[in-house]
């Protein structure tokens, strides 16, 4: 397939490289980064999109996605697919999809989970929103870049699934860390706490697979000085997208709102943005109830 790839950052570069390695003809563009091995360089986003059957975008946010979409859609041939893998707000995803459809293009939002490690290893999970016929066209690309893909519904459904998942993730991580901080104050051994909770009704992915306490449970960023992993700043981005969606739809999300406020305090006010999102454990343990 002839593929254009726009946004060759931490995630985009290894994803584009994997598509090229699998034999696709990939042309990339980024404002700053050089294309990885096997990916040809274009001088503009429009040039990368010209003649491509699929154009993948992997960009920082919704405003940039909208601007890039305005630049590439006129260059794309009718029937070509715009596959956006960025994590953006649901409104931007739907708006970009609508504008693509007006031009006879096939839009699909497909944000990912799995992080930079998953992008490099080709083991990402894709949450897709768009038409089933479009999904059928890009499914072989999901197979190369990832290990799992789910078609969640129409335009914006991929972004919706991603922010709902990550709202649970952020809230659950905070709850898990709070429980460890309380257990510490109660004089409860962290290993005993893990052994009980991981096999009781308080179990979760954050406890069982990504335990925030160093030396307890499986290997996780806690065992590596809280190097990410999944950075607290990115967790905050996703929690804010969930809050924006809750505002727009009138959904009640009191725990999601509280998690957003805590991660904002940790990541922005107290400099934790670049640490793993499980580093809220030492942060909470060091805090008193009144702080
Ligand atoms: P990044 O900042 O490393 O990469 C984004 C790239 O987009 C940069 O190289 C930047 O130069 C480029 N860019 C910005 N504006 C551009 C434009 N107008 N034209 C062309 N290129 C432009 O970010 P990342 O970590 O690769 O993340 C990309 C997306 O994936 C984000 O939406 C992020 O939320 C999401 N995501 C990231 C992770 C992760 O662990 N890093 C995990 C899941 C999802």
* Rounded distance from Cα 57 to ligand 1 centre (Å): 9
Q: What is the pLDDT of residue 161?
A: 98
| CA 217 to mean position of chain CA atoms | 25
Q: Is the CB of 252 under 6 A from ligand 1?
A: no
* Mean pLDDT, range 278-284, rounded to an integer: 97
* Rounded distance from Cα 60 to ligand 1 centre (Å): 4
What digits encode the pLDDT tens for the residues 126-182?
Answer: 999 999 999 999 999 999 999 999 999 999 999 999 999 999 999 999 999 999 999
User: Between β-strands 25-29 and 2-6, what pairing exists: parallel, antiparallel or unpaired?
Assistant: parallel
What digits encode the pLDDT tens for the residues 7-23?
Answer: 999 999 999 999 999 99
Listed residue (59, 43, 77) closest to 11, CA to CA? 59
Ligand 1 atom at shortest distance from the alpha carbon of 87: 32
Q: Is the CB of 110 under 6 A from ligand 1?
A: no
Q: Is the CB of 65 under 6 A from ligand 1?
A: no
What digits encode the pLDDT tens for the residues 182-213?
Answer: 999 999 999 999 999 999 999 999 999 999 99
* Rounded distance from Cα 110 to ligand 1 centre (Å): 14
* Rounded distance from Cα 144 to ligand 1 centre (Å): 19
Q: What is the pLDDT of residue 93?
A: 97
Quick one: pLDDT band at residue 281, thresholds 50, 70, 90?
very high
Ligand 1 atom at shortest distance from the alpha carbon of 228: 40
With vertex at residue 170, the alpha carbon angle to CA 64 and CA 165, rounded to the nearest 5 degrees, is 70
Distances (CA, A) of 65 to 49, 84, 94, 104, 261: 14, 8, 12, 19, 26
User: Between β-strands 81-84 and 2-6, what pairing exists: parallel, antiparallel or unpaired?
Assistant: unpaired
Which pTM does this prediction carry? 0.94
What digits encode the pLDDT tens for the residues 47-84?
Answer: 999 999 999 999 999 999 999 999 999 999 999 999 99
Choice among 21, 147, 162, 237 that is catalytic = 162
* Mean pLDDT, range 218-245, rounded to an integer: 96
Q: What is the pLDDT of residue 271?
A: 96
Q: What is the pLDDT of residue 193?
A: 97
How many Cβ atoms sit within 10 Å of the Cβ of residue 25? 15
Distances (CA, A) of 106 to 35, 103, 131, 179: 25, 9, 8, 46
Please say if the pLDDT value at position 120 is more than 90: yes
Please say if the pLDDT value at position 244 is more than 90: yes
The rounded distance, in Å, linking the Cα atoms of 269 and 119 is 30
Q: What is the pLDDT of residue 234?
A: 94
Mean pLDDT for the chain overall: 97
Q: Is the CB of 120 under 6 A from ligand 1?
A: no
The rounded distance, in Å, linking the Cα atoms of 34 and 86 is 19
Listed residue (99, 102, 32, 88) closest to 57, CA to CA? 88
Quick one: pLDDT band at residue 291, thresholds 50, 70, 90?
confident
Q: Is the CB of 107 under 6 A from ligand 1?
A: no
What digits encode the pLDDT tens for the residues 82-105?
Answer: 999 999 999 999 999 999 999 999
Active site residue 162: yes
Please say if the pLDDT value at position 115 is more than 90: no
């Amino acid at each position: 397939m002839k593929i254009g790839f726009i946004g060759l950052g931490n995630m985009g570069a290894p994803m584009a490289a994997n598509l090229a390695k699998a034999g696709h003809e990939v042309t990339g563009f980024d404002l700053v980064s050089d294309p990885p091995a096997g990916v040809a360089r274009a001088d503009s986003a429009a040039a990368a999109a010209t003649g491509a059957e699929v154009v993948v975008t992997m960009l920082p946010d919704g405003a940039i996605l909208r601007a890039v979409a305005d630049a590439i859609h006129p260059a794309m041939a009718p029937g070509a697919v715009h596959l956006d893998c960025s994590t953006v707000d649901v409104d931007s995803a739907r708006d970009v999809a609508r504008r693509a459809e007006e031009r006879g293009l096939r839009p699909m939002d497909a944000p990912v989970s799995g992080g930079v490690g998953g992008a490099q290893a080709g083991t990402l999970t894709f949450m897709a929103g768009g038409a089933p016929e479009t999904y059928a066209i890009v499914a072989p690309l999901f197979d190369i870049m990832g290990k799992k893909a789910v078609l969640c519904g129409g335009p914006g459904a991929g972004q919706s699934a991603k922010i709902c998942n990550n709202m649970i993730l952020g809230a659950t991580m905070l709850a898990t860390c709070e429980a460890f901080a309380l257990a510490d104050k109660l004089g409860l051994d962290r290993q005993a706490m893990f052994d009980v909770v991981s096999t009781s009704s308080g179990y979760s992915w954050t406890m069982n697979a990504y335990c925030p306490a160093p030396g307890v449970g499986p290997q996780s960023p806690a065992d590596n000085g809280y190097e990410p992993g999944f950075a607290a700043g990115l967790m905050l981005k996703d929690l804010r997208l969930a809050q924006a969606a809750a505002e727009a739809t009138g959904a009640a999300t009191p725990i999601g709102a509280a998690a957003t406020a805590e991660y904002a305090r940790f990541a922005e006010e107290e400099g934790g943005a670049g640490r793993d999102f499980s580093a809220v454990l030492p942060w909470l343990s060091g805090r008193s109830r009144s702080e």
